[in-house]
Amino acid sequence: MDLILMIDTSGSMSGQKIASVYDSIENLMESLCGYNNLVEPVNCCVQLYSRDVIWLYNTMIPVIDFKWSLPECTGMTSMGEACSTLAAFIESNNIGDNLKILIITDGCPTDDFEEGMDKLQKTKGFVSADKFALAIGEEADIASLLSFTGDESKIYRPNTIEDLFDSIINGENVWPDNNAQPVDTSIPTETDDEWE
């Protein structure tokens, strides 16, 4: 299994939001190490996106080798650039057929999101991947997340992030929504991100 996490590190994610995401991903990676040893090999990579897009590694790595630290959250939400960079990453890496992608955000794209999505839709590995989104808070742009996942039922607002992540360990092809809350499809009118 290959897993790519795309994590919003814009200014509005600072504080408790990013701390909760960080703790949950630490727990996820620990659980995936057990899954890796008992069930099948797991490779992963994490992309952090705000004003800039940063890959924690240049390629997919075994989950047992994954290390990271709590990121600083600042700047805007360059989700379009994140998608463009994801397309290039998928094309340049040897990723297996069982690819899962999870994008996490609490806001709206502040750049050309449509351009980034256009590149992704032309990327074979993205089209065939299982794609999910975690919308944190009421300002998350559901319309953009729907464009990413292609399926409203794959956009989650779980009671806890662990509820969503735990289903990865269970080997489900579709993460269960028994802990999800209904998605608000209204478009937010403002964002907490700040220009710097």
CATH number at residue 164: 3.40.50.410
pLDDT of 176 strictly over 60: no
Judged by average pLDDT, the poorest of 42-51, 147-156, 159-168 is 159-168
**What does the DSSP 8-state code read for residue 13?**
G
| Confidence category of residue 159, pLDDT binned at 50, 70, 90 | low
196, part of any domain: no
Distance CA 101, CA 120 (A): 12
Give residues with Cβ within 8 angstroms of 15, minimum separation 6.
Answer: 73
137, part of any domain: yes
pLDDT of 98 strictly over 80: yes
Q: Which domain holds residue 134?
A: 2-169
Q: What domain count does the chain have? A: 1
Strands 155-156 and 130-135: parallel
Q: What is the value of pTM for the model shown? A: 0.84
pLDDT in tens, 107-155: 999 999 999 999 999 999 999 998 989 898 889 999 999 999 999 888 8
Distance CA 164, CA 181 (A): 12
Pair 153, 181: CB distance under 8 Å:
no
39, part of any domain: yes
Residue-level pLDDT at 35: 82
Give just the sign of the alpha carbon dihedral 53, 114, 94, 175: positive
194, part of any domain: no
State which H helix or E strand residue 9 sits in: none
180, part of any domain: no
Residue-level pLDDT at 115: 97
Average pLDDT score, the chain = 84
| Confidence category of residue 163, pLDDT binned at 50, 70, 90 | low
174, part of any domain: no
Residue-level pLDDT at 161: 63
186, part of any domain: no
pLDDT in tens, 48-63: 999 999 999 999 999 9
| Confidence category of residue 71, pLDDT binned at 50, 70, 90 | very high
124, part of any domain: yes
Pair 149, 180: CB distance under 8 Å:
no
Q: Which of 22, 71, 74, 14 is nearest to 50 (CA)?
A: 74
pLDDT of 44 strictly over 60: yes
Residue-level pLDDT at 94: 82
